[in-house]
């Protein structure tokens, strides 16, 4: 793993004496760690239907909840703004947030819950919301992204847009993720929470409590490209959280693949995902071994960089084939075998910041990664018919062997152009996938979550 020398130096006594800007050491999740290491402020504008369940969730996890900032630093600030409809409501939100952010602790969490702005699926809702309602709902988008850029010391700001019909319990797994150290490198994100497909959630939301230590217990998870890099971190993290791993990679990566399978107590499947029979071999293996699959992580990916002017067909086709074509084929095979999908199946596709911002020399790669986003949006309603979801994560600058080989100037620039002023770690991508992979994350569907520390590229 490459070393971030500048960050390490910025935290030394000498750097402190010289007054050098500090690059924060982020609080990351470790088993046994409390959800929050200090008090949380939970507030609302209006009645705030999420205040009571979120307060209960935080208190159950052992952290005190306050309604106004006091002397102590706040580990989290959660504000339910789902009922705001006027500029006066927005001003009330600012009056809550201004004193609260002053008290936010290092690696603190600011989480807003907001209403849908002008939801085209709900014409009644759009009509009743009016222009001012839609405006203030959308205003939260700019607000939260700006707060993310203002916060320091590893604190993050994110926004959950909650469907008006969503039951309070449907926000649970997402609130936990965004408050916890698992979301260390997820910043400035806006995620829509809808009404989960499949079985209706118990309105009290207490019939299926999440085990916060092993939220993936009993789930069968496939990870492609699992032999090394981010894929190996995904396999390790999902296994830590209780999943049974089926690790997939090309035969040439067999040694690394076997190591991951052994380490996680899972199985190794040597498979080139672009082979004509890859989808049937994968579904056949799952059927035979486990009789079902609960989580499929499409992580395998390649780069073959070249300026478009010099692009040859081989570079284009291999990148589009591995990164996008194989995912399309496997997803269609899963949809064609709905009995194989567990009752709360989750598909998570690894996209990239390049697919959002574009990148010089990566027309093939960026096209494939943007294509993943289009695929996820198109397939979300189809997977929902089976009680399943499909989402994408889009990593930004992640510290891997690949980024270690970059020229030092390019690497330094890549690391610093985000609100947290450092690169992410493979585990940050893995933790985000772990959240999306939970049975209780059914409210998140068709979304793209960036794991980029709020990179300014493509924002």
Ligand X SMILES: NC(=O)c1ccc[n+]([C@@H]2O[C@H](COP(=O)([O-])OP(=O)(O)OC[C@H]3O[C@@H](n4cnc5c(N)ncnc54)[C@H](O)[C@@H]3O)[C@@H](O)[C@H]2O)c1
Is 29 marked active-site?
A: no
Residue 328, judged by CB atoms within 10 A of its CB (0-12, 13-18, 19+), counts as middle
Binding residue count for ligand X, defined by CB under 6 A: 25
229 binds ligand X per the rule CB under 6 A: yes
> Quick one: which of 364, 391, 400, 447 contacts ligand X (CB under 6 A)?
400
4 binds ligand X per the rule CB under 6 A: no
230 binds ligand X per the rule CB under 6 A: yes
398 binds ligand X per the rule CB under 6 A: yes
Alpha carbon distance 38, 106 (integer Å): 11
Return the SS3 of 270: strand
Beta-sheet strands, E only, within 149-307 = 156-162, 190-193, 220-224, 244-249, 267-270, 293-298
Beta-sheet strands, E only, within 4-103 = 40-44, 65-66, 74-80
Nearer of residues 228 and 240 to ligand X, judged by Cβ = 228
Nearer of residues 273 and 335 to ligand X, judged by Cβ = 273
Distances (CA, A) of 91 to 82, 100, 115: 14, 14, 16
403 binds ligand X per the rule CB under 6 A: yes
Nearer of residues 378 and 402 to ligand X, judged by Cβ = 402
Residue 303 and residue 280 in contact, taking contact as beta carbons nearer than 8 Å: no
Alpha carbon distance 294, 111 (integer Å): 28
What minimum distance in Å lies between the beta carbon of 297 and ligand X?
10
> Quick one: which of 222, 245, 268, 350 contacts ligand X (CB under 6 A)?
350
Nearer of residues 187 and 344 to ligand X, judged by Cβ = 187
Nearer of residues 173 and 352 to ligand X, judged by Cβ = 352
What minimum distance in Å lies between the beta carbon of 122 and ligand X?
34
> Quick one: which of 274, 280, 287, 317 contacts ligand X (CB under 6 A)?
274
State the binding string over 233-252 for ligand X (x if CB under 6 A, else -): ----------------xx--
> Quick one: which of 108, 215, 225, 342 contacts ligand X (CB under 6 A)?
225
96 binds ligand X per the rule CB under 6 A: no
> Quick one: which of 96, 105, 221, 227 contacts ligand X (CB under 6 A)?
227
What minimum distance in Å lies between the beta carbon of 459 and ligand X?
15
Residue 336, judged by CB atoms within 10 A of its CB (0-12, 13-18, 19+), counts as exposed
279 binds ligand X per the rule CB under 6 A: no
Measure the CA dihedral 310/316/317/322, to 10°.
140
Those residues whose C-beta lies under 8 Å from the C-beta of residue 277, and which sit 6 or more positions away, are none
Backbone CA torsion sign across 413, 447, 213, 39: positive
Using CB under 6 A as the binding rule, the residues of this chain from 308 to 347 that contact ligand X are 322
What minimum distance in Å lies between the beta carbon of 45 and ligand X?
37
Which residues, in sequence order, are bridge partners of residue 362?
Answer: 306
State the binding string over 282-311 for ligand X (x if CB under 6 A, else -): -----------------xxxx---------
What minimum distance in Å lies between the beta carbon of 161 and ligand X?
25
Which phi and psi (to 5°) does residue 113 adopt? -115, 130
Alpha carbon distance 155, 459 (integer Å): 18
Residue 288 and residue 340 in contact, taking contact as beta carbons nearer than 8 Å: no
Alpha carbon distance 355, 368 (integer Å): 7
Which residues, in sequence order, are bridge partners of residue 112?
Answer: 79, 159
Nearer of residues 206 and 402 to ligand X, judged by Cβ = 402
The distance of Cα 321 from the centroid of its chain, to the nearest Å, equals: 25
* Residue 264: both structure tokens together: 């996680």
What minimum distance in Å lies between the beta carbon of 420 and ligand X?
15
> Quick one: which of 53, 231, 434, 453 contacts ligand X (CB under 6 A)?
231
What minimum distance in Å lies between the beta carbon of 352 and ligand X?
4
**Which region among 66-74, 122-130, 147-155, 271-279 touches ligand X (by CB under 6 A)?**
271-279
Nearer of residues 54 and 326 to ligand X, judged by Cβ = 326
Nearer of residues 109 and 298 to ligand X, judged by Cβ = 298
Q: ∠ at Cα 161 (156, 166), nearest 5°? A: 130
Q: Under the rule (CB under 6 A), what is the footprint of ligand X?
A: 224-225, 227-231, 249-250, 253, 272-274, 299-302, 322, 350, 352, 395, 398, 400, 402-403
Active site residues: 365
């Amino acid at each position: 793993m490459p070393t971030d020398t500048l960050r390490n130096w910025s935290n030394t006594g000498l750097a402190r004496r010289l007054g050098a800007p500090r690059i924060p050491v982020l609080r990351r999740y470790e088993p046994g760690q409390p959800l929050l290491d200090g008090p949380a402020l939970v507030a609302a504008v209006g009645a705030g239907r999420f205040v009571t369940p979120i307060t209960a969730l935080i208190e159950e996890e052992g952290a005190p909840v306050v309604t106004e900032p006091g002397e102590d630093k706040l580990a989290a600030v959660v504000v339910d703004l789902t009922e705001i409809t006027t500029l006066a409501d927005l001003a009330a939100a600012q009056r809550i947030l201004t004193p609260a952010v002053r008290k936010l602790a290092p690696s603190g969490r600011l989480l807003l819950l907001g209403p849908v702005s002008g939801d085209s699926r709900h014409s009644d809702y759009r009509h009743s919301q009016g222009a001012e309602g839609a405006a203030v709902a959308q205003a939260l988008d700019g607000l939260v992204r700006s707060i993310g850029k203002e916060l320091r010391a590893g604190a993050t700001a994110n926004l959950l847009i909650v469907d008006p019909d969503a039951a309070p319990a449907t926000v649970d797994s997402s609130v936990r993720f965004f408050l916890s150290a698992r979301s260390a490198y997820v910043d400035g994100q806006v995620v829509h929470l809808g009404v989960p497909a499949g079985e209706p959630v118990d309105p009290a939301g207490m019939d299926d409590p999440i085990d916060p230590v092993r939220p993936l217990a009993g789930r069968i998870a496939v990870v492609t490209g699992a032999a090394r890099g981010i894929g190996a971190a995904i396999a390790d993290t999902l296994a830590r959280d209780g999943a049974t791993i089926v690790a997939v990679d090309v035969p040439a990566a067999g040694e690394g693949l076997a190591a991951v399978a052994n380490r996680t107590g899972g199985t190794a499947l040597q498979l080139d995902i672009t082979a004509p029979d890859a989808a049937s071999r994968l579904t056949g293996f799952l059927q035979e071994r486990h009789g079902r699959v609960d989580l499929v992580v499409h992580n395998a990916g390649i780069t073959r960089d070249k300026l478009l002017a010099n692009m040859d067909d081989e570079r284009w086709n291999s990148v589009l084939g591995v990164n996008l074509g194989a995912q399309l084929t496997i997803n269609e095979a899963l949809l064609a075998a709905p009995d194989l999908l567990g009752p709360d199946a989750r598909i998570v596709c690894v996209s990239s910041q390049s697919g959002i911002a574009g990148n010089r020399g990566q027309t093939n790669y960026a096209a494939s990664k943007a294509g993943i986003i289009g695929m996820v949006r198109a397939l979300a309603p189809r997977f929902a018919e089976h009680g399943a979801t499909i989402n994408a994560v889009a990593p930004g600058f992640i510290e891997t062997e690949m980024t270690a080989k970059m020229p030092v100037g390019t690497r330094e620039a890549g690391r610093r152009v985000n609100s947290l002023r450092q690169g992410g770690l493979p585990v940050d991508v893995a933790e985000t996938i772990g959240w999306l992979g939970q049975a209780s994350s059914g409210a998140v569907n068709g979304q793209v979550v960036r794991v980029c520390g709020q990179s300014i590229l493509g924002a």
